[in-house]
Amino acid sequence: MSDGKSGEVTSASSKAPAANASAALDSKAAAKTVNTTRRRIVWACIWGYLGVNFLMFLRFFFPRALYEPNTVFDIGFPTDFALGIDQRFLMTNRVWVVREPDRLFVIFARCTHLGCTPEWKPAENKFKCPCHGSGYDSEGVNFEGPAPRPMDRSFVQLDPTGKITVDTSRLFVDDPRAGVNHFNDPGAFLNV
Ligand code: FES
């Protein structure tokens, strides 16, 4: 005959192995979760490392080079230019084309003080440098501010078709301090 107490003991003793098994399963699941997380972190590091290296590899195809416009270019026929200052090639080639009654020449748009690009002010009939205030007349000759000499002029010639070719790598200088003036040299202007 069994009493109530022995029944409780039997029931408690049968629950203990089940609880142990459940705890073992929980700890295994926890270990598995930790293992999966660790694996994910490792793979993330590997992919991150490979990704950064791949980007560095791609960077080689985009060197830090300065792409300058071609120094030799056509600007059209002399008849394409009206009297005065033409700004069509300022943004692309950094020059102004100046047409006068008897000649055409090309001013290289670089201030002779420290190299800024002056602006053409039609209302004042002058070029004005925004950096330190140098002023140049409509032929690019300095008359105010710190600029020491007129702006340089680019080489010009007619090609066989009659178009004007400009070469900004060949500049003609007028420098009163040095006693040189090449503005009337062949190639510094075109008779029109
Ligand atoms: S760079 Fe033009 S005035 Fe100084």
Of 41, 65, 89, the last residue of a domain is: 65
* Residues 112, 178 within the same domain: yes
Atom of ligand 1 nearest to the CA of 147: 3
Q: Does ligand 1 come within 6 angstroms of the Cβ of 146?
A: yes
Give the C-alpha separation, 98 to 141, whole Å. Answer: 13
Model confidence at 6, pLDDT cuts 50, 70, 90, reads very low
* Residues 88, 49 within the same domain: no
Q: Does ligand 1 come within 6 angstroms of the Cβ of 135?
A: no
Q: Which residue has the higher pLDDT, 118 or 4?
A: 118
* Residues 55, 134 within the same domain: no
Fill in the amino acid letter for 178.
Answer: A
Give the C-alpha separation, 99 to 88, whole Å. Answer: 13
* Residues 24, 56 within the same domain: yes
Q: How many domains does the chain have?
A: 2
> Would you state the structure tokens that stand for residue 72, as one six-digit string?
């030799």
* Residues 104, 183 within the same domain: yes
* Residues 160, 79 within the same domain: yes
* CATH number of the domain enclosing 161: 2.102.10.10
Comparing CA positions, the residue from 89, 83, 81, 116 lying closest to residue 101 is 83
Q: CB of 102 within 8 A of CB of 83?
A: no
C-alpha separations of 36 from 23, 47, 51, 119, 125 in Å: 20, 16, 22, 66, 77
* Residues 125, 178 within the same domain: yes
Of 30, 50, 65, the last residue of a domain is: 65
CA 35-38-43 angle, 5° bins: 125
* Residues 148, 165 within the same domain: yes
Is pTM beyond 0.75 here?
Answer: no
Q: Does ligand 1 come within 6 angstroms of the Cβ of 151?
A: no
Model confidence at 1, pLDDT cuts 50, 70, 90, reads very low
* Residues 109, 49 within the same domain: no
* Residues 179, 134 within the same domain: yes
State pLDDT tens for residues 142-154.
Answer: 999 999 999 999 9
> Would you state the structure tokens that stand for residue 18, as one six-digit string?
């089940």
DSSP assignment letter at 70:
P
State pLDDT tens for residues 26-81.
Answer: 777 766 777 788 888 999 999 999 999 999 888 888 777 767 779 999 999 999 99
* Residues 42, 86 within the same domain: no
State pLDDT tens for residues 107-134.
Answer: 999 999 999 999 999 999 999 999 999 9
Please give the residue range of the domain that contains residue 45: 1-65
Query: How confident is the model over 161-169, as a mean pLDDT?
Result: 97
Ligand 1 midpoint to CA 135 (Å):
9
Of 65, 85, 104, the last residue of a domain is: 65
* Residues 56, 127 within the same domain: no
